[in-house]
Amino acid sequence: MSQSFGDYQLEIYFSALHGRISDFPMDYATLERRAAHTLPPSLLSYIAGGAGDEATQRRNVDVFAEWGLVPRMLVGASERDMSVTVWGMTLPSPIFMAPVGVAGLVTKDQHGDIAVAQAAAATGVPAMFSTLMQDPLEDVIAHAGETPSFFQLYTPKDRDLAASLVERATHAGYRGIAVTLDTWIPGWRPRDLASGSFPQLRGHALKNYTSDPVFRRILGGKEDPQTVVSTWAQIFGNPLTWADLEWLRSLTDLPIILKGIAHATDARRAIDAGVDGIYCSNHGGRQANGGLTALELLPAVAEACDGRVPVLFDSGVRSGSDVVKAIALGATMVGIGRPYVYGLALDGVPGLIHLLRMFLAEADLLMAVNGYPDFAAVRTNVQRSLGRWT
C-alpha cells in the first residue's frame, strides 16, 4: 500500500466516478451503528459495555474534544512522515490494534483473530493479539505476512503456564510481549452481569490454553468443556506485584511492555526494573469506573518515560484526528480498541481494512492540511480547547 495514507480518499472518489460508490460508512459513528446490528446481543454488550455506569468509558472518548490542534500555514507539508521506530523496527504509522479477547468471535466463521492478522498484513498496521484467542497463537501469526505482531499476556497464576505461553509467542515470531496488569480480576460490568454473559466462561477464546502443553498437563487428561472452563477460571488471573517483574523479565529477550500503567511513578519504577515499553490505558473503561480518562493521564506518564522507552496509548480513540492528538500528548504508538472490532464485525477483513485505512487517511490528511510534516510538528501545536465542546 502507498505510504501516503491520505490517497485512500482519491481511491474512493475515483471509484465513484466509475459508478462504484463504497458501501462502507466513511465516519466512525455510522460504522459502529451498522456493525452493532450484525452482532448477537450478548456479544455486542460484552464489546460495547464497560465498568459501572460507564462514565469513565464515555469520558475517555469525549475528552479528546477538549484538546485542539493548531494549524500552521505555508509549510507545504506535501509529504508526511507518520512512521515510528520502536524496538529496532520501523512501522509505517503509529497505529496498532489493541488486544481484544473476543475479536475471534465477531466474524461469521469465528476465526476473527486470523482475519485481524490478514488485515494487519494488508495494511501494515500491527496487531497485539490477546491471550484469549479463538485460534492458537501460532496459527494466527502465520497470516500476518510481513507486519510485526505482538502478544498480550494475561499472566496465569501457574508460572509454568505463563512461561510456556511466552515461549510459544517468542518461538512463533511475535515481536513483543505486553503484560496486562489491570485485569487479573474482571471489573463490575453491569451489562454483562445483567445477561449473565462472559464469553470465556462459555468456552470461547480459550484456544491458547487448550493448545498449551502445560495447560493440558494441568487438566490431567480431563479435557471435557466443563473441566477446561473451570480450570481456566481458577488459573486465569495472577495479581502481579513489583516483585514479579524480575521473573517476567527472565522469561524472554523480547521487549516487555506493561499495559495499564497510568501513574508517572509506576512508569519510572517499571522502566528502572527493565521493561521496554509503557502502555498507558484504562482498558477502555471496562475495568475500573470513576477513573480519570487515559488521555488525561498520558502527558504525565509520557513525561516520566522521558524518551527512554516507547509510550503506547489506548482508550477512547475514535478517529484519525484522535490518533494525532494522542501523539501530540506524548504517545509513541496509538492503539485502536473497540472501533476495529466493529470494522471486523461489519464485513470481516475488508471491513477492518476499511476502518484502518479510514483512520490512517484522516490522520495523514489532518497533518497535510495543518502543516505538520512529522510528529515533532504535531507535538508543538496542540493546546487545550478554549471552550467546552462536549
Ligand X SMILES: Cc1cc2nc3c(=O)[nH]c(=O)nc-3n(C[C@H](O)[C@H](O)[C@H](O)COP(=O)(O)O)c2cc1C
Nearer to ligand X, 87 or 184 (CB): 184
User: Is 284 a residue that touches ligand X (CB under 6 A)?
Assistant: yes
Cell matching residue 261: 500503567
User: Choosing from 111, 204, 283, 354, which is the catalytic residue?
Assistant: 283
User: Is 100 a residue that touches ligand X (CB under 6 A)?
Assistant: yes
User: Is 59 a residue that touches ligand X (CB under 6 A)?
Assistant: no
Nearer to ligand X, 205 or 368 (CB): 205
| Candidate ranges 11-19, 97-105, 241-249, 343-351; the one touching ligand X (CB under 6 A) | 97-105
Q: Work out how close the CB of 240 gets to ligand X at its nearest, in angstroms, rounded to a whole number.
A: 13
Q: Work out how close the CB of 47 gets to ligand X at its nearest, in angstroms, rounded to a whole number.
A: 4
User: Is 317 a residue that touches ligand X (CB under 6 A)?
Assistant: yes
SS3 279: strand
Residue 192: count of CB within 10 angstroms of its CB = 19
Cell matching residue 41: 446481543
User: Is 338 a residue that touches ligand X (CB under 6 A)?
Assistant: yes
SS3 86: strand
Q: Work out how close the CB of 346 gets to ligand X at its nearest, in angstroms, rounded to a whole number.
A: 16
Q: Work out how close the CB of 131 gets to ligand X at its nearest, in angstroms, rounded to a whole number.
A: 6
User: Is 155 a residue that touches ligand X (CB under 6 A)?
Assistant: no
User: Is 320 a residue that touches ligand X (CB under 6 A)?
Assistant: no
Distances (CA, A) of 83 to 36, 295, 360: 32, 21, 12
User: Is 47 a residue that touches ligand X (CB under 6 A)?
Assistant: yes
Q: Which sign does the torsion angle of CA 97, 100, 101, 106 carry?
A: negative
Q: Which helix (H) or strand (E) holds 228?
A: helix 225-235
User: Is 180 a residue that touches ligand X (CB under 6 A)?
Assistant: yes
Q: Work out how close the CB of 286 gets to ligand X at its nearest, in angstroms, rounded to a whole number.
A: 6
| Candidate ranges 17-25, 69-77, 80-88, 277-285; the one touching ligand X (CB under 6 A) | 277-285
User: Is 56 a residue that touches ligand X (CB under 6 A)?
Assistant: no
Distances (CA, A) of 255 to 238, 251, 314: 21, 11, 19
DSSP-derived secondary structure for 144-197: STTS-EEEEE---SSHHHHHHHHHHHHHHT---EEEE-S-SS----HHHHHHT-
Which residue type occupies 76? G
Query: How many residues bind to ligand X according to rule CB under 6 A?
Result: 23
Task: Give phi and psi for 127, each to the nearest 5.
Answer: -115, 145
Residue 252: count of CB within 10 angstroms of its CB = 18
Strands 89-91, 84-86: pairing kind:
antiparallel
* The only residue of 5, 24, 28, 46 in contact with ligand X, by rule CB under 6 A: 46
Of 108, 22, 21, which is closest to residue 357 (Cα–Cα)?
Answer: 22
Nearer to ligand X, 322 or 364 (CB): 322
| Candidate ranges 161-169, 244-252, 282-290, 368-376; the one touching ligand X (CB under 6 A) | 282-290
Longest dimension (CA), the chain: 70
The conformation of residue 293, written as its DSSP 8-state character, comes to P
Query: What does the per-residue mask of binding to ligand X show for 184-223, with x meaning CB under 6 A?
Result: ----------------------------------------
Of 69, 64, 63, 66, which is closest to residue 380 (Cα–Cα)?
Answer: 69
User: Is 337 a residue that touches ligand X (CB under 6 A)?
Assistant: yes
Q: Please tell me the total number of residues recorded for the chain in this structure.
A: 390
- The question of whether 204 is a catalytic residue gets the answer no
User: Is 101 a residue that touches ligand X (CB under 6 A)?
Assistant: yes
Which region holds residue 312: left if phi is over 0, alpha if psi is between -120 and 50, else beta?
A: beta
Nearer to ligand X, 48 or 77 (CB): 48
* The only residue of 130, 147, 197, 252 in contact with ligand X, by rule CB under 6 A: 130
User: Is 340 a residue that touches ligand X (CB under 6 A)?
Assistant: no
SS3 275: coil
Nearer to ligand X, 102 or 228 (CB): 102
User: Is 176 a residue that touches ligand X (CB under 6 A)?
Assistant: no
Q: Work out how close the CB of 291 gets to ligand X at its nearest, in angstroms, rounded to a whole number.
A: 13
Strands 127-129, 149-153: pairing kind:
parallel
* The only residue of 164, 281, 319, 370 in contact with ligand X, by rule CB under 6 A: 281
Distance CA 365, CA 18 (A): 24
Q: Which residues are known catalytic residues? A: 283
Q: Which residues bind ligand X (CB under 6 A)?
A: 46-47, 60, 98-102, 130, 132, 152, 180, 259, 281, 283-284, 286, 314-317, 337-338
